[in-house]
């Protein structure tokens, strides 16, 4: 079987130096342990519907590893598969390394398969058998290129059938699905399916996404978020120093993160920009594009009065999706463009409702074009591709011109746009993500070894030294609610959005007015692997864990 390119590549000195860094384990995983089950679980919402959808798994307790001497599994060898699902996140390779090392150390003689290219690899039975030699070069390295990833889903009866065939063909005892909310939902459906059909293969999930929107009480964070935020914050801090040195640019920085604004909020806490737009707040306050523009423009005017004609503004990737009037416009556009051709004369526009038409006309031309052209294969607008940062620059410029003519603003405004996305998804994982992922993977191996299924690997107490981290598994069904689609209930792990009552937002809220007018810029600098800052964890996690006020 062809093996992807990592082995053909050349390592930098830093990559090489990271290879042999030893990965600490939580102390409970270092010796023999027992699994203790908690009380029966429920669901995040609509438990009776979840119970119907998962008759074999609903109500499973959380599992917790505690020191002990359970000999029950001793001597058992396992055949385990692993798959990476969805977008890259730093640390994925360490989850696999952790699983691999668990099997090596605790179930000698076991076999591990890496399914290639995401869930499609399971369905098509495309895999590579993992060996020490194969896994080793990926330790502490970024990317998902060891076995690559994919966005296919296993959700139809035919697809379940294919997965079952692979599970039987390889005689799999277990499968670990490393993915985001959707992938973990599907992992649970697969676990339910296998259990229902008496297939022995158990399924364990792992919380992956740089977006930070897969988390719960027992799963304090998704891996990759820490690294991605630190990489973006390095760049933002640099741009801030540049803004202050040059004194003449407003940098509009759009940050990856899909629907949720966790990345933007975390980067804001790390760097103290003058303005940060949090999508969840925009939605809660039912703000319009005009009111967001005015909010930015007001601060720019006040700063100008203080002599500052520069600044840094953070914008979440998903911003326009949070603005009710824009959602309305986009949904009308999707509807119209599914049937109509965009004629030069603009006859199609007349089908827009008057409010939407007004908004459309209010948008800069480039954005109008993006709304018409950037469409996915289903004909829907690809919101993530809309260059919101450029749109806001243009809209702010227009508003400033107006105020200038009215004698209300007399500054200079030059906007510079940035989008930080791909740069952060595949960076070398921070020490935190390296260690967290290794523990997640090791725990996933242990959960499968204990016969668990339908759980997501859960590592907690993350603000303490690694030795003191808690380890266990959480029932995936306990994270679920249902959504009604096409008249049917569909299980979903609800995306964890930024909570306006949560500690990270509260902290930001208490400081943003100060940051707006004073220049409290912080330059976090590049991620360090050695030295006094090497083991820092991100603010979101610290604040949510209550270890920082």
Residue positions forming the annotated binding site for Mg(2+)? 181
DSSP conformational letter for 346:
-
98-117 residues in contact with a copy of itself (CB under 8 A) are: 117
Near a copy of itself by CB under 8 A, which window of 176-184, 292-300, 482-490, 521-529? 521-529
The H-assigned helical ranges of 421-532 are 422-425, 431-449, 503-517
Least distance to a copy of itself, CB of residue 143, Å: 4
The least distance separating a copy of itself from the CB of residue 93, rounded to whole angstroms, comes to 10
In the chain the first and final C-alpha atoms are separated, in Å, by 52
Instruction: Name which of 41 and 141 has its Cβ closer to a copy of itself.
Output: 141
The residue among 89 and 292 lying less far from a copy of itself, judged by its C-beta, is 89
**Which residues within the stretch 307-336 sit at the binding site for a copy of itself (CB under 8 A)?**
none
Q: Torsions phi, psi of 528, nearest 5?
A: -110, 145
Q: Nearest approach, Cβ of 133 to a copy of itself (angstroms)? A: 20
Distances, alpha carbon 44 to alpha carbons 188, 368, 494, in Å: 15, 39, 8
CB nearer to a copy of itself: give 142 or 316: 142
- The HSE-up count of residue 255 (CA atoms within 13 Å, CB side) is 34
Q: Which is nearer to a copy of itself, 155 or 242 (CB)?
A: 242
Site for a copy of itself in 370-429 (CB under 8 A): 416, 418, 422-428
User: Which member of 1, 10, 341, 549 binds a copy of itself (CB under 8 A)?
Assistant: 10
Rounded Cα–Cα distance for residues 316 and 336 (Å): 27
Rule CB under 8 A: say whether 512 interacts with a copy of itself: no
Q: Which of 101, 145, 182, 211 is catalytic?
A: 211
Instruction: Kindly tell me which residue out of 35, 527, 537, 541 binds a copy of itself, with binding defined by CB under 8 A.
Output: 527
Span from 43-51, 338-346, 458-466, 525-533 in contact with a copy of itself (CB under 8 A) = 525-533
- Answer yes or no: are the C-beta atoms of 229 and 257 closer than 8 Å: no
Cβ-contact 521, 244 below 8 angstroms: yes
Parallel, antiparallel, or unpaired for β 111-115 and 127-129? antiparallel
Tell me the per-residue interface mask from 244 to 283 with a copy of itself, x by CB under 8 A, - otherwise. Answer: xxxx-x-x------------------x-x-----------
Nearest to residue 231, comparing CAs of 539, 525, 534? 525
CB distance 367 to 373 below 8 Å? no
CA–CA distance from 440 to each of 205, 363, 434, 495 (Å)?
Answer: 10, 45, 10, 20
Residue 199: both structure tokens together: 């297939």
Position among 3, 12, 52, 284 found at the interface with a copy of itself (CB under 8 A): 12
Contact of 425 with 457, CB cutoff 8 Å: no
Q: Which is nearer to a copy of itself, 119 or 524 (CB)?
A: 524
Site for a copy of itself in 232-251 (CB under 8 A): 234-235, 237-242, 244-247, 249, 251
> Among residues 460, 496, 495, 491, which one has the least CA distance to residue 477?
491
CA distance 429 to 518: 33
Confirm whether 173 is a catalytic residue.
no
Pairing type for strands 480-485 and 127-129 reads unpaired
Which residues line the annotated binding site for diphosphate? 87
Supply the residues annotated as catalytic: 211
Residues in contact with a copy of itself by the rule CB under 8 A:
4-6, 8-15, 17-18, 88, 117, 141-145, 148-149, 231, 234-235, 237-242, 244-247, 249, 251, 270, 272, 416, 418, 422-428, 518-533, 536
């Amino acid at each position: 079987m062809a093996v992807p390119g990592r082995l053909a590549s050349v390592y930098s000195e830093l990559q090489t130096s990271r290879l042999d860094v030893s990965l600490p384990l939580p102390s409970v995983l270092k010796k023999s342990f027992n699994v203790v089950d908690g009380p029966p679980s429920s669901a995040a919402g609509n438990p009776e519907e979840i119970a119907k959808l998962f008759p074999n798994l609903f109500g499973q307790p959380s599992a917790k590893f505690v020191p002990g001497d359970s000999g029950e599994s001793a001597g058992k060898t396992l055949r385990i598969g692993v798959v990476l699902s969805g977008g890259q996140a730093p640390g994925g390779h360490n989850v696999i390394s952790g699983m691999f090392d668990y099997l090596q150390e605790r179930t000698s003689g076991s076999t591990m398969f890496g399914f290639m290219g995401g869930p499609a690899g399971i369905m098509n039975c495309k895999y590579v058998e993992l060996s020490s030699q194969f896994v080793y070069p990926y330790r502490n390295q970024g990317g998902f290129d060891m076995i690559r990833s994919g966005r296919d889903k296993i959700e139809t009866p035919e697809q379940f059938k294919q997965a079952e065939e692979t599970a039987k063909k390889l005689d799999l005892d277990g499968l670990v699905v490393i993915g985001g909310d959707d992938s973990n939902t599907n992992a649970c459906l697969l676990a339910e399916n296998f259990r229902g059909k008496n297939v022995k293969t158990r399924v364990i999930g792992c919380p992956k996404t740089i977006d930070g929107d897969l988390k719960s009480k027992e799963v304090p964070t998704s891996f990759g978020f820490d690294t991605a935020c630190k990489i973006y914050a390095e760049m933002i801090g640099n741009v801030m120093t540049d803004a202050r040195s040059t004194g003449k640019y407003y940098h509009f920085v759009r940050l990856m993160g899909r629907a949720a604004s966790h990345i933007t909020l975390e980067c804001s806490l790390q760097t103290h920009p003058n303005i940060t737009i949090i999508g969840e707040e925009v939605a809660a306050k039912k703000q319009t594009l005009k009111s967001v523009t005015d909010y930015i423009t007001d601060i720019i005017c006040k700063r100008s009065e203080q002599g500052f004609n520069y600044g840094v503004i953070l914008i979440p990737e998903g911003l326009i999706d949070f603005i009710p009037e824009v959602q309305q416009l986009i949904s009308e556009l999707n509807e119209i463009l599914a049937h109509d051709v965009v004629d030069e004369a603009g006859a199609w526009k007349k089908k827009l409702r008057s409010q939407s038409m007004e908004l459309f006309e209010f948008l800069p031309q480039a954005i109008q074009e993006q709304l018409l052209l950037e469409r996915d294969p289903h004909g829907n607008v690809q919101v993530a591709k809309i260059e919101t940062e450029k749109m806001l620059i243009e809209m702010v410029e227009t508003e400033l011109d107006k105020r200038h003519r009215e004698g209300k603003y007399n500054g200079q405004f030059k906007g510079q746009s940035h989008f930080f996305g791909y740069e952060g998804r595949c960076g070398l994982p921070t020490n935190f993500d390296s260690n967290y992922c290794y523990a997640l993977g090791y725990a996933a191996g242990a959960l499968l070894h204990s016969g668990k299924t339908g759980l997501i690997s859960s590592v907690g107490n993350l603000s303490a030294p690694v030795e003191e981290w808690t380890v266990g598994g959480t029932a995936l069904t306990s994270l679920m609610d249902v959504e009604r689609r096409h008249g049917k209930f569909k299980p979903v792990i609800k995306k964890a959005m930024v909570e306006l009552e949560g500690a990270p937002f509260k902290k930001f809220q208490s400081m943003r007015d100060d940051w707006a007018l004073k220049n409290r810029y912080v330059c976090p600098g590049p991620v360090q692997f050695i030295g006094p800052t090497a083991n820092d964890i991100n603010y979101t996690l610290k604040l949510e864990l209550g270890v920082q006020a």
